[in-house]
Amino acid sequence: MVHWGNLAGQQGETYHKVCPPESAFSFERGYRLGKKEHSVRSTIRENENKISSLNQDMGNLVDSMKNALPTEVEKQVRKSGINNLISILRLRI
């Protein structure tokens, strides 16, 4: 029964407490573990999506900043790469 409870929990199913008393404890134990796994995996997916979105936003921002930079600084950015962009901008401020 633990297996079926775990599987139901992993899939995010709702438990309606319909198991017979002799198997309820085992099912519920598996269900709780599966539900926790489902929750963790969902959080990971959400965070991966947020990271992807932030990376895209950062790329767009960097592109916009490059387009707004004076020619001499733009050459330095292209030469040194994006990792030094913040250092270059700090020098300009």
0.85 exceeded by pTM: no
Number of Cβ within 10 Å of residue 39's Cβ equals: 12
Tell me how far apart the 2 most distant CA atoms of the chain are, in Å: 77
| Domain ranges across the chain | 2-92
Ordered per-residue pLDDT tens for the chain, 93 residues: 668 888 888 888 888 888 888 988 898 999 999 999 999 999 999 999 999 999 999 888 888 877 765 666 667 666 766 666 666 666 655
* 33 close to 9: Cβ distance less than 8 angstroms: yes
How many helices (H) and strands (E) in the chain? 4, 0
**Helix/strand/coil (H/E/C) assignment for every residue in 70-82:** CHHHHHHHHHHCH
